[in-house]
Chains A and B, each alone.
Chain A
Amino acid sequence: DSGVTQTPKHLITATGQRVTLRCSPRSGDLSVYWYQQSLDQGLQFLIQYYNGEERAKGNILERFSAQQFPDLHSELNLSSLELGDSALYFCASSPPTGARTEAFFGQGTRLTVV
């Protein structure tokens, strides 16, 4: 168990809908990262938050947004969903050290858009 909790584990929704994925980082970790894993694109970095502030942005679509709350949990909002958004969405967290370090991944949310 990595200590990172993601909910829900599975989500099935229709095209055009909006969903929210939730992530609770490990205790003490200030950084939260979101990744998308799909068959055609592989593992792609979406966005990073550090202590409530957006720190880095990757290949995140405009239809997607995220935030990190004062209690450090994070939510990834996906709207106007398309079939191609079906993927595994991972959240990861890392310790608040100055040195570059490993990331701890949650078990992911499997999103299926039908």
Chain B
Amino acid sequence: SQQGEEDPQALSIQEGENATMNCSYKTSINNLQWYRQNSGRGLVHLILIRSNEREKHSGRLRVTLDTSKKSSSLLITASRAADTASYFCATGNAGNMLTFGGGTRLMVKP
């Protein structure tokens, strides 16, 4: 079974708008990671936030982590058509094995 559940499952926005995706997980974690997948292709790592961190930025990405609520959010600001993809959260624990959520399908309309 999957550790994380993402919300929403699908999101459609206009170029220039912000996109927010949420992830909830069930057990304690070492870190939480976000990955991006273009249609049927490999996953690309976006950002990693450790369990003792609350917020992290990378370019147009902002990730928050609330371990008390076992939740994380990914914010993509000023979205572009090229951001259209599926986004997955993954929790990392012992051995660096990743447990993925179901993903959010993001469509950014030009």
What is A's interface to B at a CB cutoff of 8 Å? 2, 4, 31, 33, 35, 42-45, 48, 50, 55-56, 58, 88, 90, 92, 94, 100-108, 110
Contacts and interface: CB of A to CB of B under 8 A. Distances in A.
Contacts of A56: 94-95, 97
Contacts, number: 69
Contacts of B102: 42
Residue from the set A4, A33, A105 with the largest chain B CB neighbour count within 10 Å: A105
Contacts of B77: none
Interface of B: 2, 30-31, 33, 35, 40-45, 48, 50, 88, 90, 92-103
Given A42-B2, A42-B102, A42-B103, A88 B40 contact: yes
A43 B88 contact: yes
B49 to A, nearest CB: 11
B99 A45 contact: yes
Contacts of B31: 100
Given A103-B45, A104-B45, A110 B40 contact: yes
Given A42-B2, A90-B43, A110-B40, A101 B96 contact: yes
A105 B102 CA distance: 17
